[in-house]
Amino acid sequence: MSIIENVFFPLKEVEKIRNEKDSRDLLREYIEEYDGLLDFRNHKKAKLEGIENAYRFTSKLISLDLMTKLSKDKRIKNVFYAASAAPPGGSVDSISMRFKVFVQYH
């Protein structure tokens, strides 16, 4: 969402994402296209210093197409991701990674 859109076409209150259920529902709309390939899990409120109204989830894979689509949604302010090691016993081998994806809403 560009600065011009923010100023001249602000989000209506009913469009804003304000709770975990709304966030999960919005993310599932985008993720269902990948039909289990991403392994969407652990969706919850994110605790990031200095960042308000953010939720996170974990995924086995990251799709550049998905990240682009999320970042273009007018309800989403920013998308961050970071690689993390799977928990003990959580993968077949010792080098498998998961990704934490953080979505910040307006």
pLDDT digits (tens, 9 = 90+) for 16-51: 888 999 999 999 999 998 878 888 999 999 998 999
- Contact between 48 and 12 (Cβ < 8 Å): no
**Tally of domains within the chain:** 1
Q: Is the pTM of this model over 0.85?
A: no
Give the domain extent around 40. 3-105
Q: Measured between alpha carbons, how far is 36 from 34 in angstroms, rounded to an integer? A: 6
Q: For residues 93 and 105, give the distance between their C-alpha atoms in angstroms, rounded to a whole number.
A: 35
Helices 64-72 & 20-31 angle (0-180, nearest 10): 130
pLDDT at 14 over 90: no
Determine the average pLDDT of the residues in 77-87: 87
